[in-house]
Structure 1
Amino acid sequence: MDVSAAGNHDFDFGKEFLERVSQDLSYPLLCANAEVSLPKASILSTSSGDIGFIGLTSSDLLASSNYRVDRRHALPVQRVEPNIPSMADELKRAGARAVVVLLHDGTDWRFSGDKYEARPQRLFAKIQGWEEVVDLVVGGDTLGRYYGSIGRMKFVQPWPFGTEIALVDFEFRRSEVCTRFAAVPVKGSEEWDGFGADFINEARQDVLGTLPHSLTAYSGGRAPLAEFMAECIFAATAADISIAYVACGQPASDGIFAYLGSGSVTRLQIAQLTPWTTHEICTSEVTQAESNKLCGLANAARSHRSRAWAMHTSGSSRDILSIATTSGAATHVIAETIGRELEWKRSGETSFEGVRTVLGRVDRSRILGR
């Protein structure tokens, strides 16, 4: 790595934590649109000329604050978006022959039938004022893919999760910068042997059971994988309602953003499907009216492009119902959905144990269908 920009999840453990750990990085981590002690911009020297970089995190960190393990970690203040053309001019006066904006935002998208459809209009309206002084914008965050231009300014956003690399070539001429780009698929993989490798290997070796058939979560469609996880939480508790989500585990190039294949299921696979939690199961109480509000989370017609929710119920008609979910993001989203904070208690069980229970049943026909 030579340079990077802070993303919204870089702040999951709070502003002070990021400021502290960024000092140990061997490259600059940039952030120009939040009040945090990171550099706003940097110039990288190359044999062909200097390149200036500006880093922008999500423009609304609070909007994604539910998707953290613990919301108590303080986020940085965001007041006014920086003047990117002015910053780019300053970098060029300092010797940069080209300016790149590393933007933690990207193209919107949807699936129309079985076809991925990028919708860059919102993003391009946001960045079109940069075209006279910025040479390249590198996008991300939305898990989509798009390559394009606004006038002379190029935009690249490769498929996420290391599936594709955007290769950009600058050719510096006397009075202009010629920019070419290509999408390079990534083939093969190597086992991670850096920090955390021992935890990954331990989780990979912990087999929870055998799944008879594959389960998926489809962008904007059905999510039997989320329904399976809700059943697993239900099986690990005596609650009236269980709620679960699954999140992006692969590029959505085929419409599927989360997948669990048939055969052996490991703790690592479940951990990858459900981020932003310690996987401890928490319980609380809601009213019947509040449980009706929560049904909207599991509405397939309104599902998020990269997250799917499901709800499993006992069918109880009591006025006060017990509810179970995983710690972290799910408890935050449930509270936001019903409009009040809940008092959550740790049950002593985990979602991993729930998976082990469901997969261990003799009657496999109870496992949710495709």
Structure 2
Amino acid sequence: MDVSAAGNHDFDYGKDFLENVAQDLNYPLLCANAEVSLRKATILPTSAGDVGFIGLTSSSLLASSNYRVDRRHPLPVQAVEPNVPLIASELKRAGARVVVVLLHDGIDWGFNGDMYESRPQRLFARIQEWEKAVDLIIGGDTLGRYYGSIGRMKFVQPWPFGAEIALVDFDFSSSDVCTKVAAVAVTGSEEWDGFGAHLINEAKHDVLGTLPCSLAAYSGGKAPLAAFMAECIFATTAADLSIAYVACGQPALDGIFASLGAGSVSRLQVAQLTPWTTHEICTSEVTQAEASKLCSLTNTDRPHRSRAWAMHKARSSSDILSIATTSGAATHVITETVGRELKWKQSGETIFEGVRTVLGRADRNRILAQYRV
């Protein structure tokens, strides 16, 4: 790595934690739109000419604060959006031949029938005033894909999760810099052997059971995979109501943003589908009216591009219902949806044990049949 910009999940453990970690990095981590002791911009020298970089994290870290394990860690203040054209002009006065913005934001997208459809209008309205000062914007975060430009300013956002690389070539041979862009698909893979490799390996070889059919979650559609996870939480508790989510784990070019194939299911696969949690199952209590509010999480008429929720509910006429879910993001979102603080207790079980329980049942085929699309 030569340079990077802080993303919203870089702040999952708080402002102070990131500032301490950044001191040990051997490359600059940039952030110009939050009050944090990171550089706003930097210049990297090359044999052809100097390149300036500006780093921008999410424009609203607070809006994404539910989707982390623990919300108690303080986030940095984001008072005013920085003047990007001014910073870019300062970089060029300092010798940068071109200026690149590393932007933790990206284009919106959806599906028109079975076809992926990019929707850059919102983002381009935000960045169009940078056109005269910035040469290239590298987008991300929204998990979409787009290659385009606003006037002379190029924009690239490759498919996420390492599926594609955006290759940008600056030609400094003339006074007017020529910029060429190419999309390079990534083929093949290698096992990670760096920090934490032994933990990944252990989780990969911890088989929880065998799934008789593949399950998936669709962008703006059904999410049988999330329903299966809710079933697994329900199986470990005596709760009246269980709620689960699955998150984006693959590029959604075919409409599927998360999937679990038929065959052996490992602890690693389940962990990848449910981030922002310690995977411990927590319980609390809600009223019937509050349970009705929680149904809004599973409404496919209001789809999210990277998350799908499901609910498993037992028949109960009681005014107070017991509820179970995973720690972290799910408890944060449920509390916010209900509109009051809930007292969560750890059940002593994990989602992994729930998966093991459901896949170990003699009637698992009958149980899973209801989730097939």
Report the TM-score, using the length of structure 1 for normalisation: 0.99
1:91 shift after superposition: 0.1
- Alignment of structure 1 residues 150-165 onto 2, 5 Å: 150-165=150-165
The residue aligned with 1:182 is: 182
- Alignment of structure 1 residues 295-314 onto 2, 5 Å: 295-314=295-314
The residue aligned with 1:347 is: 347
Flag structure 1 segments of 5+ consecutive residues without an equivalent: none
Which residue type is aligned with residue 366 of structure 1?
I
CA distance in structure 2 between the aligned counterparts of 1:17 and 1:309, rounded to whole angstroms: 30
Conserved? CA contact 2:134–2:153, under 8 Å: yes
Conserved? CA contact 2:110–2:117, under 8 Å: yes
CA distance in structure 2 between the aligned counterparts of 1:173 and 1:194, rounded to whole angstroms: 39
CA distance in structure 2 between the aligned counterparts of 1:204 and 1:155, rounded to whole angstroms: 37
1:129-163 per-residue CA deviation (whole Å, 9 max, x = no partner) reads 00001000000000000000000000000000000
The residue aligned with 2:258 is: 258
CA distance in structure 2 between the aligned counterparts of 1:188 and 1:317, rounded to whole angstroms: 54
CA distance in structure 1 between the aligned counterparts of 2:151 and 2:300, rounded to whole angstroms: 39
Classify the secondary structure of the residue corresponding to 1:161: coil
The residue aligned with 2:371 is: 369
Does residue 210 of the first structure (1) align with residue 210 of the second (2)?
yes
The residue aligned with 2:248 is: 248
Does residue 321 of the first structure (1) align with residue 332 of the second (2)?
no
CA distance in structure 1 between the aligned counterparts of 2:154 and 2:317, rounded to whole angstroms: 57
Tell me how many residue pairs correspond in the alignment.
370
Classify the secondary structure of the residue corresponding to 1:301: coil
The residue aligned with 2:335 is: 335
Moved over 3 A (4+): none
1:173 shift after superposition: 4.1
Which residue type is aligned with residue 47 of structure 1?
S
CA distance in structure 1 between the aligned counterparts of 2:303 and 2:350, rounded to whole angstroms: 25
CA distance in structure 2 between the aligned counterparts of 1:55 and 1:331, rounded to whole angstroms: 32
CA distance in structure 2 between the aligned counterparts of 1:212 and 1:67, rounded to whole angstroms: 31
Which residue type is aligned with residue 345 of structure 2?
K
Classify the secondary structure of the residue corresponding to 1:97: strand
- Alignment of structure 1 residues 12-161 onto 2, 5 Å: 12-161=12-161
Classify the secondary structure of the residue corresponding to 1:101: strand
Conserved? CA contact 2:227–2:371, under 8 Å: no
The residue aligned with 1:267 is: 267
1:43-82 per-residue CA deviation (whole Å, 9 max, x = no partner) reads 0111100000000000000000000000000000000000
Conserved? CA contact 2:225–2:371, under 8 Å: no
Which residue type is aligned with residue 366 of structure 2?
S
Which residue type is aligned with residue 70 of structure 2?
D
Classify the secondary structure of the residue corresponding to 1:43: strand
Which residue type is aligned with residue 369 of structure 1?
Y
Conserved? CA contact 2:220–2:304, under 8 Å: yes
The residue aligned with 1:167 is: 167
CA distance in structure 1 between the aligned counterparts of 2:77 and 2:305, rounded to whole angstroms: 28
CA distance in structure 2 between the aligned counterparts of 1:258 and 1:30, rounded to whole angstroms: 31
CA distance in structure 2 between the aligned counterparts of 1:369 and 1:38, rounded to whole angstroms: 47
After superposition, the CA RMSD in angstroms is 0.6
Conserved? CA contact 1:42–1:53, under 8 Å: yes
